[in-house]
């Protein structure tokens, strides 16, 4: 019990590289925090592995996601569940961490299936671009499901956090600070420090737009243009991220760009992210498509 409230139960929607690492972080904390049930249900988009086994069954057998995060134990209290409705039905704290293009479909399947008073957080870096204009993923979740949704973004290359190398993250929230603090408690570890800022749009736009800059940085690498050019791309990119964010949401704060979600995520993704790697490979391949 915390402040007279019932215990919290967490479900994670997504089980890719970051989804598994986030589940591992959360599961480590739920066993220590009395205000949370230990068990963390992790929804798995079911796939059949080359061995013929189902991914969800394999995760539960070896406590590892051999496809998206091989070699890392998730914690015995992480239960993989391929049934979306079953995975979320008892949870009051929902963590969305899938590639952005699947969120709308997932949310539509969950309408009317959630616990009353459920809260969400999105770890998804991306946005939906609709004919009416761009729509942030947290807003999509709120609009479809009618629930409050925070965001967690930051310099968070999942494979590094999986082996407990130090990093920071930023939670963006709208008005409800108490809920943001509850999310921060759930994610914080000695090697994963989380701050909260009341600028949900700023935080989420940082996590989305830095990917565009990282693609440019990867092209610079692929064309062997050097570190000075890459630094210039990052500096100009950060300035453009800030200007574009304020054009979309005038409430976005300058300080947000100095949090982990801003300049730090921009740097780590331009150095080591998958967006950078794909762009470098594209440039080295003479600008032609290639198989990964
Ligand atoms: N990997 C990383 O280092 C980080 C990733 N992120 C963000 O987290 C989000 C999720 O990325 P990852 O966990 O890395 O995923 P991933 O890129 O490792 O894996 C893709 C996931 O999508 C699932 N999937 C495939 N088809 C699907 C469908 N039709 N419906 C639903 N799910 C389907 C796969 O089963 C797999 O779980 C993305 O928005 C990414 O930008 C954020 C921070 C770090
Ligand atoms: O968001 C990330 C690090 O914070 C990971 O970026 P990539 O998806 O480009 O690997």
Contact by Cβ (8 Å): 62, 14: no
214 lines ligand 2 (CB under 6 A): yes
Cα–Cα nearest to 140, from 106, 175, 92, 93: 106
- Asked whether the predicted pLDDT for residue 31 surpasses 80, the reply is yes
Q: What is the mean pLDDT of residues 218-238?
A: 98
Q: Is the pTM of this model over 0.80?
A: yes
Residues 74, 44: Cα–Cα separation, whole Å: 14
pLDDT confidence of 80, banded at 50, 70, 90? very high
Contact by Cβ (8 Å): 158, 269: no
Ligand nearest to the Cα of 84, by number: 1
- Asked whether the predicted pLDDT for residue 290 surpasses 80, the reply is no
CA dihedral (244, 150, 99, 126) in degrees, to 10, reads 0
Nearest atom in ligand 1 to the alpha carbon of residue 14 is 37
Residue 109, both tokens: 């399947």
- pLDDT of 53-75, one tens digit each? 999 999 999 999 999 999 999 99
210 lines ligand 2 (CB under 6 A): no
Which of the following is catalytic: 108, 210, 230, 246? 210
268 Cα: distance to centroid of ligand 2 (angstroms): 8
273 lines ligand 1 (CB under 6 A): no
15 lines ligand 1 (CB under 6 A): yes
> Closest residue (by CA) to atom 6 of ligand 2?
273
Q: For residue 210, indicate whether it is catalytic.
A: yes
Residues 2, 16: Cα–Cα separation, whole Å: 31
Q: What angle do CA 259, 262, 265 make, to 5 degrees?
A: 105
Q: List, as one string, the DSSP characters of 113-169.
A: -SPTT-EEEE----EEEETTEEEEHHHHHHHHH---EEEEESS--HHHHHTT--EEE
- Provide φ and ψ at 72, rounded to 5°: -120, 120
241 Cα: distance to centroid of ligand 2 (angstroms): 16
**Per-residue pLDDT at 2:** 47
- Asked whether the predicted pLDDT for residue 12 surpasses 60, the reply is yes
**Per-residue pLDDT at 292:** 64
- pLDDT of 92-148, one tens digit each? 999 999 999 999 999 999 999 999 999 999 999 999 998 988 999 999 999 999 999
Ligand nearest to the Cα of 273, by number: 2
Return the number of other C-beta atoms located less than 10 Å from residue 47's C-beta. Answer: 14
102 Cα: distance to centroid of ligand 1 (angstroms): 9
**Per-residue pLDDT at 5:** 65
19 Cα: distance to centroid of ligand 1 (angstroms): 7
106 Cα: distance to centroid of ligand 2 (angstroms): 22
Mean pLDDT score of the chain, rounded to an integer? 96
**Per-residue pLDDT at 264:** 98
Q: Which of 3-17, 25-39, 211-225 has the lowest mean pLDDT?
A: 3-17
Pocket test for ligand 1, best of 99, 102, 156, 277 (most atoms within 8 A of CB): 99
**Per-residue pLDDT at 1:** 45
- pLDDT of 160-204, one tens digit each? 999 999 999 999 999 999 999 999 999 999 999 999 999 999 999
Residues 163, 155: Cα–Cα separation, whole Å: 15
* β partners of residue 134: 129
Residue with tokens 């068990």: 39
């Amino acid at each position: 019990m915390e402040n007279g409230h019932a215990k919290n139960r967490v479900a994670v929607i997504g089980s890719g590289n970051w989804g598994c690492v986030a589940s591992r972080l959360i599961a480590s904390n739920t066993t220590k925090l009395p205000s949370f049930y230990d068990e963390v249900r992790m929804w798995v988009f079911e796939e059949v592995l080359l061995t013929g086994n189902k991914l969800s069954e394999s995760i539960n057998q070896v406590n590892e996601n051999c496809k998206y995060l091989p070699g890392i134990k998730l914690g015995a209290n992480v239960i993989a569940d391929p049934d979306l409705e079953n995975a979320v039905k008892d949870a009051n704290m929902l963590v969305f961490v899938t590639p952005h293009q699947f969120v709308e479909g997932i949310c539509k399947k969950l309408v009317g299936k959630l616990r009353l008073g459920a809260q969400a957080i999105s770890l998804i870096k991306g946005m939906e671009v609709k004919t009416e204009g761009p729509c942030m993923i947290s807003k999509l979740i709120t609009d479809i499901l009618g629930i409050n949704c925070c965001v967690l973004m930051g310099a968070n290359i999942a494979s590094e956090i999986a082996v407990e190398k130090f990093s920071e993250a930023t939670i963006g929230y709208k008005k409800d600070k108490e809920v943001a603090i509850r999310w921060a408690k759930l994610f914080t570890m000695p090697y994963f420090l989380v701050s909260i800022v009341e600028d949900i749009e700023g935080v989420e736009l940082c996590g989305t737009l830095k990917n565009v800059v990282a693609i440019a940085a990867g092209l610079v690498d692929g064309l062997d243009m050097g570190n000075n050019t890459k630094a210039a791309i990052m500096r100009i990119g950060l300035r453009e991220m800030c200007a574009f964010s304020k054009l979309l949401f005038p409430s976005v704060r300058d300080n947000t760009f100095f949090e982990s979600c801003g300049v730090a995520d921009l740097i780590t993704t331009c150095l080591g992210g998958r967006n950078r790697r794909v762009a470098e490979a594209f440039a080295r391949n003479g600008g032609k498509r290639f198989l990964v």
